[in-house]
Amino acid sequence: MAALYARIPKIECRQKCQDFCGAIVQLGAFTEAERLNIERAMKAVDIVRAAGASPLACSALDRNGRCAIYAERPAICRLFGVVEGMTCPHGCEPERLLSHAEMSEILNALSAIAGPGRFAAAKKTLASATREELIKHISESLLRDADL
């Protein structure tokens, strides 16, 4: 995984993009290869969430909106701000921008290590789900993983 992460350009993060951090950890929006590191990192930190934090905000965000597991964050978080069309709205600039093809190569390689993860599997299963079924699935996922 480290070799794949090394292919992602570095970015000087100003730590202002937490509004874009959805329920990544709660919904398992990472590959199986990343899962153990993320679970281990979440158990190693004592996260105090901001008062009134949305359940749709990533559970790895602390009360200041900073990622408490930054060193172990999943690829989707590492890619934010460094992919064409997914640039940082706060002006943080990466060493270079990845193309969508490069991003796909990295994500596919991570998935090939141990599988795509439960979010990707759920997306396939729920591809033709109704709005209500999607809401139910997301709600159940958030409640099930409230301790992450």
Query: Mean per-residue pLDDT for 60-73?
Result: 91
Confidence at residue 142, expressed as pLDDT on a 0 to 100 scale: 55
Q: Which residue has the higher pLDDT, 97 or 17?
A: 97
Asked whether the whole model's pTM tops 0.85, one would answer no
Q: CA angle, corner 52, sides to 60 and 143, nearest 5? A: 60
Total count of domains within the chain: 1
Q: Can you read off the two tokens belonging to residue 35? A: 């899962």
Per-residue pLDDT tens for 5-54? 999 999 988 888 888 888 888 777 888 888 889 999 999 999 888 888 88
Domain that holds residue 99: 2-144
Residues 21, 61 contacting (CB under 8 angstroms): yes
pLDDT grade for 148, boundaries at 50, 70 and 90: very low
Q: With 60 as the cut, is the pLDDT of residue 90 above it? A: yes
User: pLDDT > 90: what percent of the chain?
Assistant: 33
SS (H, E, C) 36-61: HHHHHHHHHCCCCCCCCCCCCCCCCE
